[in-house]
Structure 1
Amino acid sequence: MARDDSSAGLVIVAFALGALTGAAVALLMAPAAGGETRRVLGEKAREGRETVNTAIERGRQAYQQARAGDATTPGGAVGRTDAL
């Protein structure tokens, strides 16, 4: 099961990197002045970094909550999946 979670995370990261690369190429090809394009690219890079950092933090919190739940719930993860 952990292998599936890892694959899903890899797909999400690859998609995000592809989207960022596509956006950067689109901006470079746009008919705008060089300085303006560099400014916009810088802003988008900062926004992307913030988005990635937020996603990492959310993932870390979800992992910690799941791990804490496994330690405190009788049956660990198995006990939780039975309710589904």
Structure 2
Amino acid sequence: MADNESNVSGLGWFLAGLGIGALAGVLYAPKSGKETREDLAASARDAREKANQYVDQGKEQVGQYAEKGREYYEKGRTQWSEYVDKGKDYLQEQQGKVAAAVDAGKQAFGKATENTGDQISEAGQQIQNS
């Protein structure tokens, strides 16, 4: 960002210096009007070429920054997608573990109630037999 500001500042100072130099050259040059106009036209052409160079450099830098931005966006999107996939896998794994624990609990409860029922029946028969 600071480089861009210094480039813009440098362009401003360059153009100001070019204008002052052209004006001083016109005022102090012992030339005819035609020669002076030709010199001014040449100076304007030079200034326009320099300005175009700065614009081209700016466009190139903007293009480079845009490309970097696209690269960072794609990298971030890819990483985000990987994290989401890992999260989904983890949730499915945990869901399977919970389901297995619930099934084990159901089986243990079933066996416990079955054993308790058998014990109650045996106790009832012992009471009847006594």
Give the structure-2-normalised TM-score: 0.48
CA deviations over 1:17-49 (Å, ceiling 9, x no partner): 211112211221211111101101101101210
Q: How many residues align?
A: 73
Does 1:37 pair with 2:41? no
State the partner residue of 2:110. Answer: none
**Other structure's SS at 1:32 match:** coil
Tell me how large the CA RMSD over aligned residues is. Answer: 2.0
CA contact (8 A) 1:24 1:41 kept: yes
Q: CA offset at residue 70 of structure 1?
A: 2.5
Task: Give structure 1 stretches of 5+ with no counterpart.
Answer: 76-84
Percent identical: 27
Structure 2 spans left out of the alignment, 5+ residues: 77-130
Of the two structures, which has the highest relative contact order with CA contacts closer than 8 Å and spacing of 6 or more? 2
Structure 2: distance between partners of 1:12 and 1:48? 13
Residues in 2 aligned to 1:12 and 1:6: alpha-carbon distance in whole angstroms: 10
State how far apart, in whole Å, the 2-side matches of 1:64 and 1:6 are: 13
